[in-house]
Amino acid sequence: MSTHRLANMSGRAPTKCKCQMARSITELRADFLHLRRWRKSVEQAQSYTFKAVITIIVSGLVGAVWLGIKVMLGK
């Protein structure tokens, strides 16, 4: 038998009262909200990083094409 059941059988109150359980549930909810905000910020940073990398690659390609056109027209 668990200690929780033994405590109830002996007439004593359980070790955790409802206010402590509510506090722990509130803390658990706050932890999950924090994790959600952290995950969303990481996803947003990844999105911005991906967009920046694509922009740099496209800019490099456009610059190379532009330079190629200038060299071809300059001859």
How high is the pLDDT of residue 20?
81
pLDDT band at 54 (very low <50, low <70, confident <90, very high): very high
Strand locations in 1-75 (E): none
Q: Would you say residue 56 lies in a domain?
A: yes
Q: Is residue 2 part of a domain?
A: no
3: Cβ–Cβ under 8 A, 6 or more apart, which residues? 15
Whether this model's pTM surpasses 0.95: no
Domain that holds residue 59: 17-74
**Domain-located, residue 34:** yes
Helix or strand (DSSP H, E) at 1: none
Q: How many domains are contained in the chain?
A: 1
What's the pLDDT band for 74 if we cut at 50, 70, 90? confident
Q: What is the mean pLDDT of residues 26-33?
A: 93
Mean pLDDT for 3-31 is: 71
Position 16 confidence tier, pLDDT thresholds 50, 70, 90? low
Domain annotation covers residue 44: yes
